[in-house]
Amino acid sequence: MTNQPPFLALGGPPATPGVVHLVGAGPGDVGQLTLRAAQVLSTCDVVAYDRLAPAEALALVPDHADLIDVGRRYGDPGVGRDEVDTLLRERAAAGHAVVRLKGGDPFVFGRGGEEAAACAAEGIPVEVVPGVTSAVAVPGAAGIPVTHRGVATGFAVVTVHEDPTKHAAQIDHQALAAFPGTLVFLMGLRRVAPVCEQLIAHGRDPGTPAAVVSAGTTPRQRTVRATLATLADAVAAADLQPPAIIVVGDVAALPDLVGREVRPLHGLRVGLPRTRRRGSDLAAHLRSVGADVVEVPLAREEPGDVAAIGRAAADLLAGRVDEVVVLDAAGLEVVLAAAVDLGGDARALAGVRLTVVGRRTAAQVRRDLHLAADVTVGSAGELADLPDAAPDRRVLVLGPDADLRTRDLLPDATAVTTSRLRPQPVPDVHVDVWLVPASRLVPLLAEAYSDPRVPLVSMGPVTSAALRDAGLEVAAEAAAATPVAVEDALTSLLRRDGGSGWTASPAED
Ligand code: SAH
């Protein structure tokens, strides 16, 4: 039996072979992806996506599936778009489950209608997965409701065509200027001035509130509020980047009760090296306070020293161990599994003192392995100061790279390397600050990214020491290895730089 497809619990079927799924990806924040979109993305065979698709959405795609980038920026001739759509229809005709992922909703200026018609002409079935459109969600994320009782009883969504020759013919400025409600313009960042001028020329009050919101719903969201008369200058002064929408109407003057852009770390691009596939609580917390967290897989966890793991299990079963020091819950689990292979079980730990490094690891050991620590220390550095660390005690240290990490701290202990970090090829990323979660990542980070202008924030004294040993400067150190303490360290760094030491990086699209 194969693994149950993800999101099956939602009740919907997986992506269907032979079908083109036209899927809306929402405006940028992965939280706006629909559950149906997640379901088809995680069960398809091929996905074509463009620059508005959230990176996290692509992480849902199964390993076997092909990812096709239909990247197109302003000014590009749009190379490949039609070819890709043709290819997708061929793949569907060949029996693959195909996803065409589009920003926002596929039928709002997304050419979804054309694509559906092309499929129909070839007899290829289509499933439309509607998405959260930026036309409504982006003003909303900036605290601008597109309708509001007593202020706006309707809204119109309009595209500002980027081709100036077609522009005049496509927009009925007279009708727009007279529209009794909120106007939302898409694809118009480079035409803010003519849009505002035309509305004024056709009778809209120059004092009408207006706003531009760029990168809405993402950590790079920025809003400029002005009036029809002043918006173009205000937007130019703020140097906003696409994608952006223009909102015109009294709703743009309502107070921003959402406050997304004033979160403590809003827009700060934080690099977080990691060694595992799953996202971390730390990343989730930093995102909740506005940070743009880029998780970079610097290394992969590979199996450790199998012979040493077997010996450790045998020693435990034979009662030849007084103390086990656990650096990582998975490390203990590997050794217990080896004990089971030898005919024993978790009772091998009876009478053995269990020392766990890190409160989170202790909680994990308790939850996953149902074992309570006798002693919990905050970090590996505290191991050397433990009482009873007499030289004749027989101590096993279990964990990833245990040999390298505890050689100096516990020279008389037997280190059992339950897994090893292997460096991975790293992507080219630009961040405002790097977080360094563990000392063992220091050499990998120094090797992969070495821009001295990017400050390094360490998550503990041992990591700070390792950074200094490597000749690197520690810009700030978290008071504890907890998400809130890390947030505080980042906030203090921003405050020290007067908030001007960094600027929100432009979107990597
Ligand atoms: N189908 C999409 C729109 C595609 S047209 C939807 O329903 O949202 C692309 C335009 O959408 C951009 O030029 C911009 O005007 C707008 N847009 C999309 N995502 C945006 C975002 N996160 N912030 C601001 N504008 C966005």
Per-residue pLDDT of 471-488, as tens digits, reads 999 999 999 888 999 999
Residue given tokens 């001035």 in the structure block:
193
DSSP H or E stretch at residue 368: helix 359-369
- For residue 243, whether the previous peptide bond is cis, meaning omega lies within 30 degrees of 0, is yes
Please tell me the distance from the alpha carbon of residue 352 to that of residue 189, in angstroms, as a whole number.
66
CA separation, residue 412 to residues 354, 406, 409 (Å): 17, 10, 9
- 432 touches ligand 1 (CB under 6 Å): no
Q: What is the average pLDDT across 188-198?
A: 94
Q: How confident is the model at residue 508 (pLDDT cuts 50, 70, 90)?
A: very low
**Does residue 217 have a pLDDT over 50?**
yes
pLDDT at site 4: 63
Please tell me the distance from the alpha carbon of residue 295 to that of residue 291, in angstroms, as a whole number.
12
Q: Is the CB of residue 57 less than 8 Å from the CB of residue 41?
A: yes
CA geometry: angle 72, 77, 83, nearest 5 deg: 75
CA-based nearest residue to 352, from 382, 388, 378, 379 = 388
Share of residues in the chain with pLDDT > 90 (%) = 65
CB atoms within 10 A of CB 447: 12
**Does residue 422 have a pLDDT over 90?**
no
Contacts of 171 (CB under 8 A, 6+ apart): 158, 160, 161, 198
**364-419: pLDDT as tens digits:** 999 999 999 999 988 777 887 776 656 678 999 999 888 887 888 888 899 999 99
Q: How confident is the model at residue 505 (pLDDT cuts 50, 70, 90)?
A: very low
Q: Is the CB of residue 101 less than 8 Å from the CB of residue 49?
A: yes
CB atoms within 10 A of CB 198: 18
pLDDT at site 185: 97
pLDDT at site 312: 96
Q: Is the CB of residue 129 less than 8 Å from the CB of residue 119?
A: no
pLDDT at site 504: 42
- 213 touches ligand 1 (CB under 6 Å): yes
- DSSP-derived 3-state class of residue 469: helix
CA-based nearest residue to 334, from 296, 370, 360, 308 = 308
Please tell me the distance between residue 104's alpha carbon and the centre of ligand 1 in angstroms: 6
Please tell me the distance from the alpha carbon of residue 272 to that of residue 282, in angstroms, as a whole number.
9
Q: Is the CB of residue 303 less than 8 Å from the CB of residue 419?
A: yes
pLDDT at site 252: 98
**Does residue 263 have a pLDDT over 50?**
yes
- 294 touches ligand 1 (CB under 6 Å): no
**Does residue 231 have a pLDDT over 80?**
yes
- 195 touches ligand 1 (CB under 6 Å): no
**Does residue 79 have a pLDDT over 70?**
no
**309-340: pLDDT as tens digits:** 999 999 999 999 999 999 989 999 999 999 99
Please tell me the distance from the alpha carbon of residue 424 to that of residue 246, in angstroms, as a whole number.
42
**123-145: pLDDT as tens digits:** 999 999 999 999 999 999 999 99
Q: Is the CB of residue 379 less than 8 Å from the CB of residue 481?
A: yes
Which region, left, alpha or beta, applies to residue 18 given φ > 0 means left and ψ of -120 to 50 means alpha? left
Most confident of 48-52, 106-110, 276-280, 391-395: 106-110
DSSP state of 148: B
Q: What is the average pLDDT across 66-72?
A: 82
**Does residue 509 have a pLDDT over 50?**
no
What single-letter amino acid sits at 70? Answer: V
Q: Which of 29, 52, 247 gets mutated to test ligand 1 (max ligand atoms within 8 A of its CB)? A: 52
Chain-wide mean pLDDT for the chain?
88
Q: Is the CB of residue 148 less than 8 Å from the CB of residue 174?
A: no
- CA end-to-end distance (rounded Å), the chain: 39
Contacts of 405 (CB under 8 A, 6+ apart): 327, 380, 399, 415, 439, 440
Please tell me the distance between residue 469's alpha carbon and the centre of ligand 1 in angstroms: 47
Please tell me the distance between residue 160's alpha carbon and the centre of ligand 1 in angstroms: 12
Q: What is the average pLDDT across 435-464?
A: 88
- 115 touches ligand 1 (CB under 6 Å): no
Please tell me the distance from the alpha carbon of residue 140 to that of residue 132, in angstroms, as a whole number.
11
pLDDT at site 371: 96
**290-316: pLDDT as tens digits:** 999 988 888 888 889 999 999 999 999
Strands 244-248 and 209-214: antiparallel
Please tell me the distance between residue 6's alpha carbon and the centre of ligand 1 in angstroms: 28
- DSSP-derived 3-state class of residue 303: strand
